[in-house]
Structure 1
Amino acid sequence: MAAYVFLLAAAGAGIGWAGEAGAPRQETPAQRDRRMAWWREARFGMFIHWGLYAIPAGRWKGQKVGGTGEWIMHTAKIPVAEYEPLQQQFNPVKFDAQQWVDIARRAGMKYLVITSKHHDGFCLFDSKLTDYDVMGTPFGRDILKELADACHRAGLRICWYYSIMDWHHPDYLPRRAWDPRPGVPADFNRYVEHLKGQVRELLTNYGKIGVLWFDGEWENTWTHQHGKMLYQYVRSLDPDIIVNNRVDKGRQGMAGLTAAGDFAGDFGTPEQEIPATGLPGVDWESCMTMNDTWGYKRDDHHWKSAETLIRNLIDIASKGGNYLLNVGPTAEGLIPEPSVERLTRIGQWMDTNGESIYGTSASPFRRLSWGRATAKPGKLYLHVFDWPAGPLVVPGLKNRVQRAYLLADRSRSLAVSATPSGISVVLPKEAPDRVATVVVLEIEGIPQIASP
């Protein structure tokens, strides 16, 4: 069995964590806005689920296993003793950190979030607290260091996913019913100290980290007190870092938004869904897959179209959120070609229309029958999904429009007129982009929309 370095468990399971590194000062709203600014500007990031589960890739002992690829240890009820040997098969010789970063950058993504450790407990980084990590594989290279270095060179933010739940660690509780390991004693407080030690490694060995993205917080052993103290500890190590709401117990299911109360976390995390409406004053990020799995699964060919993914990005931005779009690399270290194809198409759209996504705020309109809208001071970006046969009607807009044009053809102004129902814009007969063509309205003042 893989070995761990056991740290002394603090009495009371983490009391006094923040004081060990210097507790962060209370933030003013302006300070929080400055800390969140890059993330709100970015709007679009890459999620990467990668680990030992890429080797079975959805099959175990010759049988297809249901569910998502990264949950195979749980779904197939694989004991630690049977799953652990995958470590000696992990040798992704085609992994190229620069290639991954280039794929993300060309897609228009501004940050990467990778699974430093998923629920199976295997670490993609060089941890001095366990040998159940990438340095104990035939590959023997620190994947997170290579990715962090490539991101820093490219001007992208590198971010870490870290699972609180750990099916492998002997001190994590509760144990799985199908792998009780009765002869192995457990001390959850000691596990919490281990977790804290790995968080320190992740935030001190890889340069500036943008986000610490926790998960696996839902089991009863992890408490609200744990969450609050871990959030404070992380912020004490790096006062500028952003932490998601899964550090604590406030997440409301897959809808992902934080319940009322003193729960820790800087943004909500809807999973595989997009909120129905905008959420003024709330930071949130929808994490979604391109097919039906997070970790690579060889038999999952249920890919969303590039059109769907682009419109998801627009829909999320129009509601004031971020889009964290997942890839699940193969055991060889390659991002699957269907993912690359879709990211390439998204990048082509973003090359023309990125201005309508980055740094925008939510739509001021309740509903637009033909598409979505985003906004910046003095500008409205109209994302037209359904190209009209006649003029485009912008319902209820009361502002004076100084100029209208397409992002696909900035040099040509479009004719605009005020009508009793809003603003009418004369468009070309054919849409330059059938997925979403962006019409820009340069307006005077803050958007004023008449109630329907």
Structure 2
Amino acid sequence: PISEYEEYAKQFDPQKFDAKKWARTMKEAGMKYMVITSKHHDGFALWDSKVSDYDIVDFSPYGQDILKALSEACKEEGIRFGVYHSIMDWHHPQAQGPNYPEYNTQDSLKMNSRFPEYYTNYLKPQVTELIENYDPEIIWFDGEWIHEYTHEMGQEMYQYLRELKPSVIINNRVDKGRQGMQGMNKEDDDYAGDFGTPEQEILEGAANVDWESCMTMNDTWGYKLNDHNWKSAEVLIHNLIDVASKGGNYLLNVGPTAEGEIPEPSLERLQEMGNWLRTNGEVVYGTEKLKAHFKQGDDIRFTKKREEQIIYAISLKAPKKDLVLKFVKPLEGSKIELIGSDIPLNYTYSEEEGLIINIPEDALSATGNKYAWGFKINGVERTGK
């Protein structure tokens, strides 16, 4: 109930929150952008909103603007700043709050006749504050599935934000086009949004539209004391490679503690990812999917450097003496590199057998890798099977 939840909000005092430390952690992990929850379904805002006093500055003992500190810290570190914002609001009387005793009962599916007032007088003004005062480069909506929020509202919201800041990127949950947890719109439908949002899953194949997979490090989006089911650094790195090979981005969740700290298991995994990316980042950053093949078998993924004839073959397992690639043709006279190693590689190529890369015994260990190995090939994609 709202009255009980408000008592917890009044206790929210993340004294150990350090925006600069967070931003440094992101940069060291190899992150290029971040998305922070500005307001979740509970309606509590993490910035100093002038539209409402149900926010961290006016309602909690902390009394400081988390979004302002984080947006500034991200700019200092070169991290692109984005905000998540819930369309749904369990606290606001014109949205879904006290009108419904429980969320997701049959009553909550009925049309709330005052929701358009909330949309016009509360939702849009708060998002306007986010754009005008925090200069986000991404607006990441959620909660669009409620009956009260319409396709027409989604289109209008998208256009409104485009006019406020033409360069902002807006996810497809601004509208009603998302098809379940897979998060992608039907390509032939007129739904607003710049990218798809698969949740807790990676697309099975490559997509022809922009998309981003949002996934947790354990089983929980927020901090949960007894959730110790952490994905290993190897799984997270392999997920990142898999997503990149299919043309997507990887939005990896961190659930901070009530004190404002990133949990130690998250920090450990982010550090491992950062270490791997410092050597191998070129196989992910500034790449795109190949036209016909994103993988070969279970253990090889491909990416391509944008606008260049450079293909990366990433092996998710340590390859043996030879690496055989069926879908890559090297340019004549070009060399092939094992990223992170200076040891030269010999190779042969034929139309019948494909590209065979000989791997010296000490080459893999020279990279310092233990999760995935990238091969940089000046070449083109071979089509066909």
One fold, TM greater than 0.5?
yes
| Matched-pair contact (CA < 8 Å) for 2:86–2:142 | yes
Which of 310, 313, 317 is matched with 2:240 structurally?
Answer: 313
**2:45 is the counterpart of 1:123:** yes
**1:382-421 alignment runs, 5 A limit:** 382-400=313-331, 402-409=334-341, 411-419=342-350, 420-421=352-353
Offset of residue 188 of structure 1: 1.2
For 2:113 and 2:53, locate their aligned partners in 1 and report how far apart those are by CA, in whole Å: 19
| CA shift for structure 1 position 190 | 1.4
Correspondence for 1:100: 22
**Percent of counterpart pairs with the same letter?**
49
Change (3 A) 1:133 1:391: same
- Within 5 Å, which residues of 2 pair with 1:160-239? 160-173=83-96, 175-178=99-102, 187-193=114-120, 194-206=122-134, 208-239=135-166
Q: CA deviation at 1:86?
A: 1.0
Alignment of 1:15-34 (within 5 A): none
SS where residue 318 of structure 2 aligns? Answer: coil
Q: Following TM superposition, by how much is the alpha carbon of 1:399 offset from its aligned partner in structure 2, in angstroms?
A: 4.1
Q: Do residues 156 (structure 1) and 79 (structure 2) align?
A: yes
Q: CA deviation at 1:154?
A: 1.1
The residue that corresponds to 2:263 in the other structure is: 336
Shift of 1:299: 0.8
Q: Which residue number in structure 1 is paired with residue 55 of structure 2? A: 133
Indicate conservation of the 8 Å contact 2:38/2:84, yes or no.
yes
Shift of 1:186: 6.9
Structure 2 residue aligned with 1:276: 204
Q: Of 351, 365, 375, which aligns to 1:439?
A: 375
Change in CA separation of 1:405 and 1:120 when aligned onto 2, cut-off 3 Å: same
Where does 1:370-381 land on structure 2 (aligned, <5 Å)? Answer: 370-376=299-305, 377-381=308-312
Residue matched to 1:358? 285
1:220 and 1:350, CA in 2 relative to 1: closer, same or farther beyond 3 A? same
Q: For 1:221 and 1:358, how far apart are their aligned partners in 2? A: 39
One of 337, 347, 354 as aligned partner of 2:274: 347
Shift in alpha-carbon separation, 1:450–1:186, aligned structure 2, 3 A: closer
CA-to-aligned-CA distance 1:378-434 (integer Å, 9 cap, x gap): 21111111223221001143343511011111x332101113221000113253323
**Whole-angstrom distance in 2 between the partners of 1:191 and 1:86:** 24
**Secondary structure, counterpart of 1:412 in structure 2:** coil
CA distance in 1, matches of 2:152, 2:28: 41
Deviations 1:211-240 (A, max 9, x none): 000000001110100000000011111011
SS in 2 for 1:398: strand
User: Structure 1 residue 366: deviation in Å?
Assistant: 5.0
Question: Which consecutive residues of structure 2, in runs of 5 or more, have no partner in the other structure?
Answer: none
With over 3 angstroms needed to count, the CA separation of the structure-2 counterparts of 1:90 and 1:449, relative to structure 1, is same
* 1:427 paired to 2:359: yes
RMSD: 1.7
Q: Provide the secondary structure at the position in 1 that maps to 2:277.
A: helix
CA distance, structure 2, for counterparts of residue 168 and residue 210 of structure 1: 27
Once the two structures are TM-superposed, the CA of residue 262 in structure 1 deviates from its matched residue by 0.9
CA deviations 1:291-347 (Å, max 9, x no partner) are: 000011111010000000000000000000000000000000000000000000000
Residues 240-279 of structure 1 aligned to structure 2 (within 5 Å): 240-259=167-186, 260-279=188-207
Cα distance in 2 between the residues matched to 1:304 and 1:245:
27
CA offset digits 1:262-282 (Å, max 9, x no partner): 1000000000000111112x0
CA distance, structure 2, for counterparts of residue 381 and residue 89 of structure 1: 50
The question of whether the paired residues in 2 share the 8 Å contact of 1:173 and 1:221 is answered with: no
> Could you tell me how far apart the structure 1 residues matched to 2:271 and 2:27 are?
10
- In structure 2, how many angstroms separate the alpha carbons of the residues matched to 1:258 and 1:122? 29
8 Å contact from structure 2 (residues 83, 136) kept in 1 = yes
CA distance in 2, matches of 1:162, 1:385: 36
Secondary structure of the equivalent of 1:441? strand
